[in-house]
Amino acid sequence: MKRNNIQYIKGLLLAAVALQLAPCIKAQVSPLTIELSKARSTWLESDNGAGIGLDSLGKYGLLEAGYQTTDGTFKRVQQGEKERQLDVVTEGGQQIGGIYAWGRFAYANETEKDTRFNTAMLDPYRGVPYYPVDPNPSEWKKQHYNLQMKVSSRPLANHYLLGIQAAYKAETGAKQMDPRSELYLYSINVKPGIAGIFGSHRVGINLEYENMIQETRAHSNSDTQVNQNVFVMRGLGNHYTAVIGGLQSLGSFIYDANKVGFGLQYGWQQQAFRLFAEGGYGYRVEEAVRDITKPRKEGTIRQQVLYGHAALLHEGVNLNRVDFIYRSSRTDGIEFVQVLDNSYEVQQWVDLYSSIRSTYRRDSYRLSYDLFRNAVREYSWKAGIYALYTVTDDNYIMPASYLKISDLYLGADAKFNLSTGGNSRWVLGADLVRKMNRKGEYHYGGVDPGSIVITDFMNPEADYLKQDYYKVGASISYFTGLLAQRGGGAYVKVTADYYKPTESDDTRLIARLGIGLTF
């Protein structure tokens, strides 16, 4: 009897300790739980921050530091043959009272080697055709800061959620060989929104405003005795020549952009099914101005964007997700005829005439399907397939020049979650992409087809865009729980992507090592 009482007392003590520890024990957060939570979410990737309160992201945090290397000659002309990047990313979400807040910060320090035909652009592919280029191989040093946040209120009157999402980006860069440039860019994007809950239906609307400024802090040469020839692009190879250095040196460029837009969202859920749809419109104007002390317009772009996204989810033992994404943009390039007014105390450039000289069309259609097997907090394996079709149709009106590209991408990927016992696991992944060019035409109708801008820049660029290629990717990561009762863990991840065109010997390899914590 005495022994039975002792065992009984021990049982009570263990139960009491367990009850005391229970509030401290948290469900473990791993990269796979974060990935699966995002796969279940429909409003997270929308433009309406109010809707994030309708997703079940829960509390999580992630911190990762990484190092990425890129090597190979299968690249666009303005990319580096060798690129190195150090980056840090932190992300998390948490319920604070009745408010859900989500945020992400990313920093990257990037070095690009052996780039050509980029004199003064942090991102020459962002869609503005007016910028100077030079043929000298050079190294670039760049830094990127990107801060994002989304906040959703508690339900008001049991039906409405107010929210806001915002993004702030700051970038700096410096070209390391003559002609040199030092660049600064910042942009801020704000999207206030509201979402409503009506039974099994959810509706939302958001507005959008964005401002972006990129500034060149004067072009320069380290060898002041040698002037450097540059070419100022107007679109599709059309250009004029200029010089950096001396009394007639090309002035710095300032880019100022503003964007307004809106989005509409609809959601529906019934038992295991969920449907989400979003559509929106954006209107953006960006001006390129030269010589800020005596401003002269290089050109203006006016861009209209339509986009749509539909997602259908079914969740039982497995999670099935189908997504369709459409995006279309139409951009007009406007050029100016100006004269210098030398009147006393005026001395400014005056517009005589402006017209649309170039047009740029982009369309993309993406359909994907993803299956997450045994989707509870993590999944045992996942598989996905997708098809992407893109259309580029660019035209310079006079002299007539054009670039017409159509591509079809087919891709498949898979991941496997291999438990090693306890709170540790390996995750193995692989993916394959096949790009097939369906149409590829470039024609320059200008007066100087023998210019180095055409022979060494535009023609090789068009040849790259017309190529078919394979991309083979692989990833391996190891996760281990640090403090199971706190829900934290650490992981190491290695990824590699290998690109090989079907009709040349060029290759490209991108490899990355990441070390992170989850909490």
3-state SS class at 43: coil
Residue 7 has pLDDT above 60, yes or no: no
Residue 220 DSSP class: B
Residue 406 has pLDDT above 50, yes or no: yes
Q: Which CATH architecture has domain 9-518?
A: Beta Barrel (2.40)
Cα–Cα distance for residue pair 88/404, rounded to 1 Å: 38
In three-state form (DSSP H/G/I as H, E/B as E, the rest C), the secondary structure along 156-207 is ECCCEEEEEEEEEEEEEEEECCCCECEEEEEEEEEEEEEEEEECCEEEEEEE
**Share above pLDDT 70 across residues of the chain, in percent, rounded to a whole number:** 94
Strands 296-315 and 319-341: antiparallel
pLDDT at position 485, please? 67
| Contact in structure between 43 and 55 (CB atoms under 8 Å) | yes
275-291 mean pLDDT:
97
Cα–Cα distance for residue pair 331/259, rounded to 1 Å: 13
Residue 421 has pLDDT above 90, yes or no: no
Find where tokens 């517009």 sit: 351
108-159 tens-digit pLDDT: 999 999 999 999 999 999 999 999 999 999 999 999 999 999 999 999 999 9
pLDDT at position 247, please? 87
- The answer to whether the Cα torsion of 10, 14, 19, 21 is positive or negative is positive
Local confidence band at 366 (pLDDT 50, 70, 90 cut-offs)? very high
| Contact in structure between 44 and 57 (CB atoms under 8 Å) | yes
pLDDT at position 9, please? 39
Phi, psi (deg, nearest 5) at residue 54 = -90, -15
Cα–Cα distance for residue pair 192/149, rounded to 1 Å: 12
Phi, psi (deg, nearest 5) at residue 124 = -70, -5
pLDDT at position 484, please? 59
386-395 mean pLDDT:
98
pLDDT at position 291, please? 86
Residue 318 has pLDDT above 90, yes or no: yes
| Contact in structure between 111 and 143 (CB atoms under 8 Å) | no
Cα–Cα distance for residue pair 157/152, rounded to 1 Å: 15
pLDDT at position 5, please? 43
Residue 137 DSSP class: -
Write out the H or E segment, with its range, that includes residue 96. Answer: strand 82-96
pLDDT at position 483, please? 62
Neighbouring residues of 487: CB distance < 8 A, sequence distance ≥ 6 = 26, 27, 28, 29, 519
Domain boundaries, the chain: 9-518
| Contact in structure between 196 and 160 (CB atoms under 8 Å) | yes
Cα–Cα distance for residue pair 164/187, rounded to 1 Å: 17
* Closest alpha carbon to 132 in 170, 75, 181, 173: 181
Local confidence band at 346 (pLDDT 50, 70, 90 cut-offs)? confident
64-93 mean pLDDT:
98
Mean pLDDT of the chain: 93
Structure tokens at 131: 């910028």
44-49 mean pLDDT:
96
Cα–Cα distance for residue pair 311/41, rounded to 1 Å: 10
Cα–Cα distance for residue pair 120/107, rounded to 1 Å: 21
pLDDT at position 342, please? 83
Of 26-30, 56-60, 277-281, 377-381, least confident by mean pLDDT is: 26-30
18-43 mean pLDDT:
75
Cα 187–193–196 angle (5° rounding)?
160
The torsion defined by the Cα of 460, 366, 167 and 92, in degrees rounded to 10, comes to -120
Cα 348 from chain centre: 39
226-238 tens-digit pLDDT: 999 999 999 999 9
> Taking phi first (over 0 means left), then psi (-120 to 50 degrees means alpha), and beta for anything else, what does residue 157 get?
left
Neighbouring residues of 241: CB distance < 8 A, sequence distance ≥ 6 = 229, 230, 231, 232
411-419 mean pLDDT:
97
pLDDT at position 343, please? 80
State how far the alpha carbon of 488 is from the alpha carbons of 60, 135, 421, 481, in Å: 9, 51, 16, 6
462-485 tens-digit pLDDT: 999 999 999 999 999 999 987 656
Residue 28 has pLDDT above 90, yes or no: no
How many helices (H) and strands (E) in the chain? Answer: 4, 21
Q: Print burial letters for 153-177: b (CB count within 10 Å at least 16), e (below 16).
A: bebeeeeebbbbbbbebebbbebee
| Contact in structure between 245 and 228 (CB atoms under 8 Å) | yes
Residue 305 has pLDDT above 60, yes or no: yes
Of 178-182, 305-309, 417-421, least confident by mean pLDDT is: 417-421
| Contact in structure between 130 and 85 (CB atoms under 8 Å) | no
Residue 67 has pLDDT above 60, yes or no: yes
Structure tokens at 457: 């820049």
CB atoms within 10 A of CB 349: 17
Cα 165 from chain centre: 16
DSSP string, 400-416: TEEEEEEEEEEEEEEEE
> Which residue type does 137 have?
P
Find where tokens 């921050």 sit: 49
Of 24-28, 125-129, 352-356, least confident by mean pLDDT is: 24-28
496-501 mean pLDDT:
98
Name the residue with higher pLDDT: 377 or 23.
Answer: 377
**Share above pLDDT 90 across residues of the chain, in percent, rounded to a whole number:** 87
* Closest alpha carbon to 60 in 36, 87, 84, 85: 36
Q: Which pTM was predicted?
A: 0.92
Structure tokens at 241: 């020549």
In three-state form (DSSP H/G/I as H, E/B as E, the rest C), the secondary structure along 315-345 is ECCCEEEEEEEEEEEEEEEEEEEEEEECCCC
102-119 tens-digit pLDDT: 999 999 999 999 999 999
> Taking phi first (over 0 means left), then psi (-120 to 50 degrees means alpha), and beta for anything else, what does residue 322 get?
beta
Residue 10 has pLDDT above 50, yes or no: no
Name the residue with higher pLDDT: 310 or 19.
Answer: 310
> Which residue type does 103 have?
G
